[in-house]
Amino acid sequence: MQTRIGALTVAVPQTRDIAFYPSALEKGVRSERALKLAVAEMDVQGGSTRKVAAITEKLCGLEVTSSQVSRAAQALDAELRHWSSRPFGETPYLSLEARYEDVRHGGQVVSCAVLVAIGIDARGMRSVLGVSVSLSEAEVHWRDFLASLQARGLHGVKQVTSDDHAGLRQALKARLTGVPW
């Protein structure tokens, strides 16, 4: 285990017939998850691997190389790809929303629409189905987003909830014909 004062070797006793893991070590796992999230956020914000490594070293007191930061970012990218391509099935209720965020695009900061789909499955479990960044909420962007969700297995939609944006309403008519809004 890496700590601010150096590496520690911890011997975890083995047990029979019961699951055991020291709760003190669980804190280290949570800290590592928090560190991964911080690395992801710095990477998303456009920080270089060297800057991320320097900040991580100051925050945690651990020497982190830029190649370690790069590997962590690659692992996070792989998790994101897995999440964004996971299949899903029948989703009776669909909620669609857009919010605007400033995004660096072509050397400039522009306001872009972040399209979000939240579904409630047949068991009543709610989850974020997908997220897409587009230049606007125009029909073409919503239609493409809905098509990508359907390509991943979205079906059985019985009701859609959203605001009354004209582009979204037209995309719903094109992609989810006959579904009550």
Q: Would you say residue 44 lies in a domain?
A: yes
Last residue of a domain, one of 85, 101, 116: 85
CB 41 within 8 A of CB 73: no
Residues 46, 103 contacting (CB under 8 angstroms): no
Residue 99 sits in the same domain as residue 77? no
Structurally, the chain folds into a number of domains equal to: 2
pLDDT at residue 176, rounded to an integer:
95
* Residue 89 pLDDT grade (very low, low, confident, very high; cuts 50, 70, 90): confident
How many C-beta atoms surround the C-beta of residue 136 within 10 A? 14
Q: Which residues pair with 160 in a beta bridge?
A: 94
Lowest mean pLDDT among 22-31, 87-96, 110-119, 120-129: 22-31
From residue 27, give the alpha-carbon distance in Å to each of 38, 124, 128. 16, 32, 27
pLDDT at 166: 94
Q: Are residues 15 and 71 in the same domain?
A: yes
pLDDT tens-digit map of 43-80 = 666 677 777 777 767 766 666 677 777 777 787 788 88
Mean pLDDT of 123-151: 95
Q: What number of other Cβ atoms are within 10 A of residue 134's Cβ? A: 17
Statement to judge: residues 123 and 69 lie in one domain: no
Residue 4 pLDDT class (50, 70, 90 cuts): low
Please give the pLDDT value at position 127.
94
One domain, residues 76 and 125: no
In this prediction, residue 51 carries a pLDDT of: 76
**58-80 as b/e: b if 16+ CB within 10 A:** eebebebeeebbeebbeebeeee
For 177, left (φ over 0), alpha (ψ -120 to 50), or beta? Answer: beta
Looking at the structure, do residues 7 and 76 belong to the same domain, yes or no?
yes
Residue in this structure with the two tokens 């995309």, named with its chain if needed: 171
> Cα 156 to the chain's mean position, in Å?
24
Range of the structural domain that residue 35 is part of: 2-85
Give the residue from 145, 151, 146 showing the smallest Cα distance to 88: 151
Same domain as 64, residue 6: yes
In a domain, 180, yes or no: no
